[in-house]
Structure 1
Amino acid sequence: MKFTLGKQERLKSKKLIDQLYKKGKSIKVFPFRMVYLQTEHTSSYPAQVGVSVAKRNFKKAPDRNRLKRLMRETYRLQKATVYENVSEPYIFMISYIGKEEKTYQELHAKMNSLLHLFIEKVNYTKNETL
């Protein structure tokens, strides 16, 4: 598996983002919040992801951009855990809800926790419906 995060893996569709926030479920591992939804999307990958940082918490664009870049990087390196454990296509948006900037190592560890929690939730609801 390539450790890239190409155009096909990024969530860009306005319709899908609207649908995600209307029907999606949410999980939190501070300082991240993930809204996810199992739905068909245009990509051949099992998941499409978007990242966001609130302007309310980080007024300066360079600060927001740095956090988004770090979030994408931590996801990119750990996306294999998601790809190996989901069978249906998912879309999700990962938001940074903290008020202070964390180090890369802290973000990496928290992203790992968030992705494992996501897998647990998905597998739990899948087993519950069977």
Structure 2
Amino acid sequence: MPEPLFTYPKKEKLKSRKIIKYIFEQGESIKTYPILIRYVENDLEYPQVGVSVSKRNFKNAVDRNRIKRQLREAYRLHKGQLTNKGKNHSIMILYIGKTHLGSEKIHKVVHTLLNEIK
């Protein structure tokens, strides 16, 4: 039975330190301010995604957690673009901006970046 399209199940959450390290060492990157995406192709039947926000730019955990929540939500709504391409990727979404932007701007940027993934 196929998974519903607009979900973000536990198996899609990128937690493996080995894979994250590999993404940063060998992966490709695409960037549109204020978001950077690093990714590698994986052998799984589904994409895996992790999000990160720098503590240097956002001192308060409340602010970092809000941005991470917005990034995960933007991915959840636009992940259909990835599954339509036939390949699956392990992806890290990094928020590199120094100021917080609204959800609409984050959604637009994530949408355009996910389209660029090969």
Fold shared per TM-score above 0.5: yes
1:55 maps to: 55
Q: Structure 1: where are the runs of 5+ without partners?
A: 123-130
Measure the CA separation in 1 of the matches of 2:76 and 2:112: 14
- What are the Cα deviations for residues 6-47 of structure 1, in whole angstroms up to 9, with x where unaligned? 111111111111111111111101111000011334xx31x1
Amino acid at match of 1:89: N
Alignment partner for residue 42 of structure 2, among 39, 49, 73?
Answer: 39
2:90 maps to: 91
Q: For the Cα contact (< 8 Å) 2:14–2:48, is it kept in 1? A: yes
Calculate percent identity across the aligned residue pairs: 43
The TM-score, its normalising length taken from structure 2, stands at 0.92
- What are the Cα deviations for residues 67-106 of structure 1, in whole angstroms up to 9, with x where unaligned? 0000000110010011111x23310100000010000111
- RMSD of equivalent CA atoms: 1.1
Q: Does structure 1 residue 106 correspond to structure 2 residue 105?
A: yes
Measure the CA separation in 1 of the matches of 2:43 and 2:56: 32
Alignment partner for residue 11 of structure 1, among 7, 11, 14?
Answer: 14
Q: Which runs of 4+ in 1 moved over 3 A?
A: none
Amino acid at match of 1:14: R
Q: How many residues align?
A: 115
Amino acid at match of 1:95: L
Q: For the Cα contact (< 8 Å) 2:82–2:88, is it kept in 1? A: no
2:30 maps to: 27
Q: Which has the higher helix share?
A: 1
Q: Structure 2: where are the runs of 5+ without partners?
A: none
The TM-score, its normalising length taken from structure 1, stands at 0.84
